Structure 1
């Protein structure tokens, strides 16, 4: 069986930390210690891309931060269960250069690259907007308001110019707001704290952004803390200490399922106005074999996910039980359940609880 395809689009202004994040994301999850703890590992589908990411990481160990990306990149990662040969999940990572949201294309070639890259948005189940933790720490709420206003204006501009050219841009409907460089904040600071601050101080800007994206629940629902490296004051950078990097792929997986549930609930006229997310997921499970008939193509993988991970796993299963299920799946050679339950478990461990929060 081919791997499940998850598509994620990552955005952030220049200097927000996307390039460092990608290198740390890859390096952390290729290590034997990660595979032993989480029972899966990742591998770059393109060997040359994987080598470039490792090269960036090793230069980080020497204290050299890589230059930010100036072009659109698509990188594919396969997720393999421990001791099993076949990949279970493939994540397509679309990295959009920060300068695309700040400057005009320099020439016709870049304009065409931008057009082709942005068309990939329609394939993405989840978008990640990366806020610069250093700027947020120094500038406070004003920076977050600017970020949301700026991103909303640029998305609106893109939609209008694309429509004028006869190409309709489709944005992801499910989003994660992630704060980079989280090591600059106190150890007790969590994604829940970040959520409270943003929803309290920038709610109008969030509402505008949701309206531009035509997705009521796009922002203000999922929050993450991400630290690709630890850089305490007056100390050497430690690229082996990170936060949230191992939680990122599980958050994308869960967001994809939640997006499908919302699509399914919206398509059912008989749904109750008080229906909760998990009630919607339970109903979705009841007719999972026919779910592909009404879900948009980018969400049709959810019917496959729900055949391997039950509603209880997403809702309330304890971490220790999830890990037992994961190990049992590995013993039975059940590739999909091994990786999927491993990802859900990663959201429930100590790091996952600090780094990821959803308020609905």
Structure 2
């Protein structure tokens, strides 16, 4: 029997002011995926769930590549894009393999204008609330810091950075009463808030550590405020990471009358960040909780479809240390929690990756490939991951 279902749907919420490059970023991501220029696309296809959306993104990409045309600005457009990662046709599979092999990424684009302008009326106000509610299923939120605006504010970067982070915090506070029912915190809410430098090609001397240092030096208080505000939304705010992970992103290299779409930074990390960053955080967070809360069950539910892909007994050790109610909750998700990726590092993950390829185990090969991509991002100083 073959169960061709989605093994894991990971959602990512992308926040950024108007002009910060969200549409260009997504268009480049999809166009490069279609041309098999992204890491991993020699093994899998990335397909848009909505063919019309995919065609628009591809059109944007071709306009940049062939005519140096930037996509038309999408003012107040709140769109979610779903992409399926699936084995290429004709690739061999293990016989009678009863495992879901597809991964899905859902990208929520929150309009930047809503950070800078008030809604024009009740209809737009409701659309803003509905848009935010739609992204509550995300485990990762990415906040774009505009490299062009950093250049424009050279020497006084704090003016831009403080404004950006304060606007996000303020917007969240305005939405809070409409999102929380009876003021009850949410078990499911973006718990990893990653800071991304968009248009990183404009700042070639900036590596990811210096980007982090700039944010902490110039807007550390505002980062703390954002963490505090996000914490008011969630059950178990100790299971939260705000401003601990950083990445550099560049959709292309922009020159007069020319856009080099293959000269990108960080786009290969988008899928690995969405798929693997929660896996590396959620079980340790759940382990640290003192009781079996809805948040703990959610964290376990997120990682349970993924840990089956890896060969380690470490989760069993961790589960044995969980408080009684939480251990009971963990067992609800079955034997898949007998394995983990927490000690995937160096040659170990490479060995698992090679064995998975030899066995035609698509899911394990893909996820270990994502882990290797994150490790490569660290080495190249494009990605900086916080530690649990």
What SS does structure 2 have at the residue aligned with 1:305? helix
CA distance in 1, matches of 2:114, 2:162: 20
What SS does structure 2 have at the residue aligned with 1:68? coil
> What pairs up with 1:297-312 in 2 under 5 angstroms?
297=298, 300-309=301-310, 310=312
- 2:260 counterpart residue number: 238
TM-score normalised by structure 2 residue count: 0.77
CA distance in 2, matches of 1:45, 1:81: 15
Q: Determine if the alignment matches structure 1 residue 16 to structure 2 residue 8.
A: no
CA contact (8 A) 2:286 2:300 kept: no
Offset at 1:340? 0.5
CA pair 129-35 structure 1, distance change in 2 beyond 3 A: closer
Q: Determine if the alignment matches structure 1 residue 77 to structure 2 residue 80.
A: no
User: In the alignment, which of 317, 323, 333 is matched to residue 345 of structure 2?
Assistant: 317
CA distance in 2, matches of 1:129, 1:55: 25
Q: Greater RCO between the two (CA within 8 Å, min separation 6)? A: 1
TM-score normalised by structure 1 residue count: 0.83
CA pair 257-194 structure 1, distance change in 2 beyond 3 A: same
CA contact (8 A) 2:378 2:384 kept: no
Offset at 1:292? 11
- 2:50 counterpart residue number: 46
What SS does structure 2 have at the residue aligned with 1:92? strand
- 2:36 counterpart residue number: 32
Offset at 1:231? 1.6
Which of 1 and 2 has greater Rg?
Answer: 2
CA distance in 2, matches of 1:353, 1:38: 22
CA pair 17-295 structure 1, distance change in 2 beyond 3 A: same
User: In the alignment, which of 260, 280, 285 is matched to residue 282 of structure 2?
Assistant: 260
CA distance in 1, matches of 2:363, 2:40: 17
User: In the alignment, which of 58, 63, 66 is matched to residue 68 of structure 2?
Assistant: 63
Which structure: greater helix fraction? 1
User: In the alignment, which of 217, 238, 249 is matched to residue 226 of structure 1?
Assistant: 249
User: In the alignment, which of 153, 159, 170 is matched to residue 153 of structure 1?
Assistant: 170
Which ranges of structure 2 fall in alignment gaps of 5 or more residues? 94-99, 232-236, 315-339
CA distance in 2, matches of 1:296, 1:136: 41
Q: Bigger shift: 156-165 or 99-108?
A: 156-165
CA contact (8 A) 2:129 2:178 kept: no
Offset at 1:341? 0.7
What SS does structure 1 have at the residue aligned with 2:105? strand
